[in-house]
Amino acid sequence: MSALDDLTAQVAQNTSVEESAVTLINGLAAQLAAAGTDPAKLASLQTSLAASAKDLAAAVAANTAAPAA
Range of the domain at 11: 3-58
Distance, CA of 40 to CA of 38 (rounded, Å)? 6
58, HSE (Cβ side, Cα atoms, 13 Å): 7
Tell me the mean pLDDT in the region 2-27: 70
Question: Does any domain span residue 36?
Answer: yes
Distance, CA of 1 to CA of 50 (rounded, Å)? 37
Question: Does any domain span residue 32?
Answer: yes
* Average pLDDT value for the chain: 77
- Render pLDDT for 16-44 as a digit per residue (tens, 0 to 9): 677 767 777 777 778 888 888 999 999 99
Task: Find the Cα–Cα–Cα–Cα dihedral 37, 43, 47, 52, rounded to 10°.
Answer: 0
Question: Does any domain span residue 47?
Answer: yes
Question: Does any domain span residue 69?
Answer: no
Question: Does any domain span residue 64?
Answer: no
CA angle 4, 9, 15 (to 5 degrees): 125
Question: Does any domain span residue 50?
Answer: yes
Tally of domains in the chain = 1
Quick one: what percent of the chain has pLDDT higher than 90? 6
Question: Does any domain span residue 39?
Answer: yes
